[in-house]
Amino acid sequence: MKPPLLNLININKYFGDVHVLKDISFTIEQGEFLTLLGPSGCGKTTLLRCIAGLESVHSGDILLNGSSIKGIAPNKRNVNTVFQNYALFPHLNVYDNIAYGPRVKKSMKEAELKERVRDVLDLVQMLGYEKRMPHQLSGGQRQRIAIARALINEPAILLLDEPLGALDLKLRKHMQTELAHLQKKTGTTFVYVTHDQEEALNMSDRIVVIDQGKVQQLGSPRDIYNNPVNLFVTTFIGDRNIMQVEVLETKETHSKVKLGDNIVSIRNPKQHRLESGQAATLAIHMDKMRVSCDETPNALKAEVLSIHYAGSQIRMELKVDDKMITVVEYQKTDCECEIGDLVYVVWEDHGAILLPLEDSGVEREV
Amino acid sequence: MRLKARKFDTFYLSLFFVALYLPVLSVILYSFNASPSTAQWTGFTFDWYRMLFRDRVIVEAFKVSMEVALITSVLSAILGTASAVISMWVTDRMKSAIQGMMILPLLIPEVALGIALLIFFNALRLPFGHLTLVLSHSLFCVPYVYIMVQLRLKEIDRSILESARDLGATTWQTVRTVILPLVIPSIITASLLALAMSLDDVIISTYMSGPKTTTLPVHIFSMMRVGVTPKVNALCTLILVGMFIVVGLSQLFNKKQHKEDL
């Protein structure tokens, strides 16, 4: 069997006494767009720097195409990084910036180099900018040059450290699409670091959710979004209403749970087994919920506390058994309710999930 | 009220600069005075300059000064830059140790430093002359280069150096293709400063001069024992002009450097 492109085996890393990477293991496949997603300070950038060789690991191993690159200096590794602030050489023009890698490695003749620079500039749609200096470029343009400068080396893996962080919202959205296109077009394996869940969900083939130096979950965006395996992922990805419930009865696909005097049926989590009588956490996406005026089966009784019209969406605060929840609707419902009304909240089956109660406390801040 | 305060500021500053530059102007003026006495102005002349260039000892001393200053500035540019670049990669404790030792020679009184060097070079049996002059001048010039280059290095974004490594550059290639081009304006400014400092040093040069190698300032100092001649005025005028050119050049490089945005 072909080995995976990159294999991380039990990576541990300390900064002084702080254990920043804890036993990280996963593999990266050829040609995929993999995102390391987590809150700031979770260790995702450190992990990226370990792959680049800019940080050393204390234990564990990193295999590229099956052979260890643990002790290899960054300039000898076939991976390239796009830094958050682009890190273009301020004294070199666009052409010389891009030509830097092949020149220091003496891997190409000048004529071939010229052609390759043209190719990568074409790839990032920056032809004609060869003579510009970095300070004459806008943030988005510098970003493209930084990517071109890395891609010309044909790295086995392109590492991107929050490359869109410094751009404004509109440009960021545009660059997301462009990056995803670029990745498919070149077939280069991308490892992308971000704290922005939307970016991660939009672009990635797979997402690794990291928190406190540990891999919390690894899966496709869809999987991560709909089937979070623990409370951290549940609260970090998407906006959910979190409620504590009691499990009454577990069946093959769904479980009956009790919240106050409501009894509803929720689909079972994939990774966990629930027992009857156990306390559990019920998490439902705010935008997968809907308010109904009529009594509906499998619904939560709620009292309307407030209604906000915010552009395309309607946000409603509701009280379910002394617990505040938020419902976001994108179109006007047939239910004309007012503050103080008694309504029924229903949801799409896959928008709700049950998790066993964790010791670490339900109200964890993210 | 504000207007009054402003008027006072202008008055004070004018007085200050007049007091500062009047003596300098008078030297220039008297170097063109036909009378050998400073007591009276008898007409304009270039005679003192002509006499100056005919004075073999002065021309010789000027040559020594220039040679020493040029070698000193190149040597201290190399040593100072190398120390600054190396101190980028050492631990913080090591770095402050390097910094402390760099600045120390500037704090030791020159009279004491001169004696120390005299004893030391004597013990090494080094012939007094160009070599001892260059070595001793470098001692107080290297720290200036170090400090100026280090300030510039601090401004360089670390990720620029990391990206050079990441793109395949060895440490030496990174130094040559990224670090040096970014700090070269500072190196030039600092070596021009070193040139100026070496050219006008008297105290240490007095100890270090050999029997046949006297620097210009040391020679002027000895000329003064027999009184101020207009020849000295002419010489000082030329030195002033030279210094203005050097300082002007270094300012020019400084400005150019700050235009580039890191």
Q: What does B46-80 look like in DSSP terms, one character per residue?
A: -HHHHHHHH-HHHHHHHHHHHHHHHHHHHHHHHHH
| A108 in reach of chain B (CB within 8 A) | no
Mean pLDDT across A32-48: 93
The interface predicted TM-score (ipTM) is 0.81
Last residue of a domain, one of A163, A194, A226: A226
Domain hosting B132: range is 61-257
Task: Report how far residue A1's alpha carbon sits from residue A7's, in angstroms, rounded to the nearest whole number.
Answer: 14
Mean pLDDT across B27-42: 82
What is the per-residue pLDDT for A356?
84
What is the per-residue pLDDT for A142?
93
Domain identity same for A208 and A252: no
Helices A110-123 & A169-186 angle (0-180, nearest 10): 130
Task: Report how far residue A69's alpha carbon sits from residue A82's, in angstroms, rounded to the nearest whole number.
Answer: 19
Mean pLDDT across A165-178: 87
What is the per-residue pLDDT for B2?
61
Q: Which residues of A fall within a CB distance of 8 Å from B163?
A: 81, 83, 87, 89
Does B50 fall in a domain?
no
What is the per-residue pLDDT for A2?
65
Put simply, the answer to whether B177 touches A74 (Cβ < 8 Å) is no
Q: Which member of A85, A101, A153 has the closest CB to residue B159?
A: A85
* Chain A interface test: which of B89, B156, B158, B163 (most A C-beta within 10 Å): B163
Domain identity same for A179 and A317: no
What sign has the CA pseudo-torsion B163, B166, B171, B177? Answer: negative
Count of the separate structural domains present in chain B: 1
Q: Which residues of A fall within a CB distance of 8 Å from B167?
A: 75, 80, 100-101, 104, 149-150, 153
Put simply, the answer to whether A90 touches B160 (Cβ < 8 Å) is yes
Mean pLDDT across B72-89: 94
Put simply, the answer to whether A74 touches B164 (Cβ < 8 Å) is no
Domain identity same for A280 and A163: no
Domain identity same for A272 and A160: no
* Chain A interface test: which of B155, B166, B172, B173 (most A C-beta within 10 Å): B166
Does B41 fall in a domain?
no
- Any idea what the CATH number is for the domain that residue B140 is in? 1.10.3720.10
Put simply, the answer to whether A89 touches B167 (Cβ < 8 Å) is no
Contacts of residue A114, defined as CB under 8 A and 6 or more positions apart, other chains included, come to: none
Put simply, the answer to whether A80 touches B170 (Cβ < 8 Å) is no
Mean pLDDT across A92-120: 93
Does A317 fall in a domain?
yes
Task: Report how far residue A217's alpha carbon sits from residue A197's, in angstroms, rounded to the nearest whole number.
Answer: 14
The CA distance from A218 to the nearest CA of chain B, in Å, is: 27
Domain identity same for A202 and A243: no
What is the per-residue pLDDT for B142?
94
Domain identity same for A280 and A255: yes
pLDDT digits (tens, 9 = 90+) for A312-321: 788 888 988 8
What is the per-residue pLDDT for A274?
81
Task: Number of A to B CB contacts under 8 A, please give it.
Answer: 66
Please state which of the ranges A53-67, B38-52, B182-196 shows the lowest mean pLDDT: B38-52
* H-type alpha helices, A152-196: 169-186
Q: Which amino acid is at B144?
A: Y
pLDDT of residue A366 exceeding 50, the answer is: no
Q: Percentages helix, strand, coil for chain A, rounded to the nearest 5?
A: 25, 35, 35
Domain identity same for A56 and A111: yes
Count of the separate structural domains present in chain A: 2
Put simply, the answer to whether A81 touches B168 (Cβ < 8 Å) is no
Does A364 fall in a domain?
no
As a whole-number percent, the residues of chain B with pLDDT over 90 amount to 42
As a whole-number percent, the residues of chain A with pLDDT over 90 amount to 52
Domain identity same for A221 and A341: no
Q: Which amino acid is at A55?
A: E
Put simply, the answer to whether B168 touches A73 (Cβ < 8 Å) is no
Q: Which residues of B touch A (CB under 8 A)?
A: 157, 159-160, 162-170, 173, 177-178, 181-182, 260-262
**Other CB atoms closer than 10 Å to residue A281's CB: what's the count?**
21
Averaged pLDDT of chain B: 87
Please state which of the ranges A248-252, A361-365, B232-236 shows the lowest mean pLDDT: A361-365
- Any idea what the CATH number is for the domain that residue A41 is in? 3.40.50.300
The residue ranking higher by pLDDT, A31 or A1, is A31
3-class SS at B177? helix
pLDDT of residue A148 exceeding 90, the answer is: yes
Q: Which residues of B fall within a CB distance of 8 Å from A85?
A: 157, 159
| A87 in reach of chain B (CB within 8 A) | yes
pTM of the model: 0.81
Beta bridge partners of A328: A315
What is the per-residue pLDDT for A361?
45
Please state which of the ranges A2-6, A241-245, B2-6, B215-219 shows the lowest mean pLDDT: B2-6
DSSP secondary structure string, A34-81? EEEE--TTSSHHHHHHHHHTSS--SEEEEEETTEE-TT--GGGSSEEE
- Any idea what the CATH number is for the domain that residue A251 is in? 2.40.50.140
Mean pLDDT across B105-123: 91
As a whole-number percent, the residues of chain A with pLDDT over 70 amount to 96
Mean pLDDT across A333-362: 78
Domain identity same for A58 and A168: yes
Please give the DSSP secondary-structure letter assigned to residue B37: S
What is the per-residue pLDDT for B260?
52
Mean pLDDT across A238-264: 87
Q: Which member of A84, A85, A104 has the closest CB to residue B167?
A: A104
Does B183 fall in a domain?
yes
pLDDT digits (tens, 9 = 90+) for B223-233: 888 777 788 88
pLDDT of residue A99 exceeding 90, the answer is: yes
Domain hosting A295: range is 239-356
